[in-house]
């Protein structure tokens, strides 16, 4: 563990921001997964509580959260640190203070900032003006912390990531974007299957494909879920109407109805294929009860792994590599 947290790859992350997976080298992204696996095995071992002893994380949540909030709060506690939950309406942000001024003030009081909000531009502005690491807990464009947990789960259940074929079915949203960038970093084949009306951002697709050239990954776009699922090692889906899209729910359901992950679609995947969902799930829409509660579902393993993924992110980005803890 000493080397995992203190070598050149770890130093690439220590004290820096985690805004998108695109910002990381392949080695750095895979290192987060490696550290998450070690911390999962060593959960509550006495030495882990020294990793972030006395360090503080400010958590700004504009969007509601279950897994992100709980995993970061518990993760900081288990690593010896503590969190401050900050609702923007309880901050001066809610009365017109700028993001830049908030960043400057918080940087003088805490060791890191987590933000979960709508616009990626807000996260980037916060990071520009903060002098402590900023972690993107989700925006409308990206969900990088989720994908660390996803890939840890895939590695646990399916082995070597670069040999896998993963099919994402549904809306071309923030999760799809981060999955593409993560696949490009590990050499995976990722099939992103969306309706024509709800494609992924072509700029993100182009960026992921450029980065895929470094690892031999394949980013494949498609429209036919049956074809995309054929022979896949894993199927992945997400809600059809994310936070902020509630008014579009009925329209999106009508567009995405044939993109449901059900027993028929799963039968087209490779025998033993696993099913992932970042949650919360709208059962009966993007996924059926039979699949989500079935033997091939690893959805709740994936949810648990949010904790271990966040702990790895915190340990690496909040500066364990600077040598504060004996590990």
Task: Just list the catalytic residues.
Answer: 116, 143, 146, 238, 278, 306
CA dist., res. 232 & res. 234, Å (int): 5
Rounded Cα–Cα distance for residues 223 and 58 (Å): 41
- Rounded to the nearest angstrom, the gap between the alpha carbon of residue 111 and the centroid of all alpha carbons in its chain is 21
CB atoms within 10 A of CB 40: 17
| Residue 143 assigned as binding residue | yes
Residue written as token pair 């981060």: 178
Annotated ligand binding at 146? The verdict is: yes
242 is in an annotated binding site: yes
Q: Is 67 labeled as ligand-binding?
A: yes
- What radius of gyration do the chain's Cα atoms show? 19
Helix locations, the chain, DSSP H? 2-6, 8-13, 26-41, 67-78, 99-107, 120-129, 144-158, 174-186, 202-212, 225-229, 249-256, 263-268, 289-292, 299-317
Residue 68 annotated as lining a ligand binding site: yes
Cβ-Cβ contacts under 8 Å for 281 (sequence gap 6 or more): 239, 287, 292, 299
- 65 annotated to bind ligand: yes
116 appears as a binding residue in the annotation: yes
Is residue 144 a known part of a binding site?
yes
- Tracing tokens 């969190």 back to the chain, one arrives at 83
Q: Is 306 annotated as a binding residue?
A: yes
Q: Which residues are annotated as a binding site for carbamoyl phosphate?
A: 65-68, 92, 116, 143-146, 278-279, 306
Q: Which residues are annotated as a binding site?
A: 65-68, 92, 116, 143-146, 174, 238, 242-243, 278-279, 306
Residues that constitute the known binding site for L-ornithine = 174, 238, 242-243
């Amino acid at each position: 563990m000493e080397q995992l947290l203190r070598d050149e790859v770890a130093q690439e992350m220590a004290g820096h921001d985690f805004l998108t997976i695109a910002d990381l080298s392949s080695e750095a992204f895979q290192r987060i997964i490696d550290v998450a696996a070690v911390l999962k095995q060593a959960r509550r071992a006495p030495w882990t509580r020294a990793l972030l002893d006395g360090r503080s994380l400010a958590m700004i949540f504009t969007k509601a959260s279950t897994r992100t909030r709980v995993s970061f709060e518990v993760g900081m506690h288990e690593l010896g640190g503590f969190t401050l939950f900050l609702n923007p309406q309880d901050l001066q942000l809610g009365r017109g203070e700028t993001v830049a001024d908030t960043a400057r003030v918080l940087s003088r009081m805490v060791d890191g900032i987590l933000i979960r909000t709508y616009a990626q531009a807000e996260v980037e502005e916060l990071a520009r003006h903060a002098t402590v690491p900023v972690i993107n807990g989700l925006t409308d464009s990206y969900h990088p912390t989720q994908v660390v947990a996803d890939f840890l789960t895939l590695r646990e259940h399916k082995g070597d990531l670069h040999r896998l074929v993963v099919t994402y079915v549904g809306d071309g949203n923030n999760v799809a974007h981060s999955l593409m960038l993560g696949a490009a970093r590990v050499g995976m084949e990722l099939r992103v299957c969306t309706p024509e009306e709800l494609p992924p951002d072509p700029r993100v697709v182009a960026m992921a494909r450029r980065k895929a050239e470094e690892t031999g990954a394949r980013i494949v776009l498609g429209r036919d879920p049956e074809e995309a699922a054929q022979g896949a090692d894993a199927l992945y889906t997400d809600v059809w109407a994310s936070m902020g899209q509630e008014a579009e729910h009925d329209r999106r359901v009508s567009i995405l109805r044939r993109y449901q992950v059900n027993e028929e679609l799963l039968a087209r995947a490779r025998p033993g294929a696993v099913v992932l969902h970042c949650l919360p799930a709208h059962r009966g829409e993007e996924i059926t009860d039979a699949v989500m509660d079935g033997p091939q579902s690893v959805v709740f393993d994936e949810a648990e792994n949010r904790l271990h993924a966040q702990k790895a992110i915190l340990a690496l980005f909040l500066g364990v590599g600077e040598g504060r803890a004996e590990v």
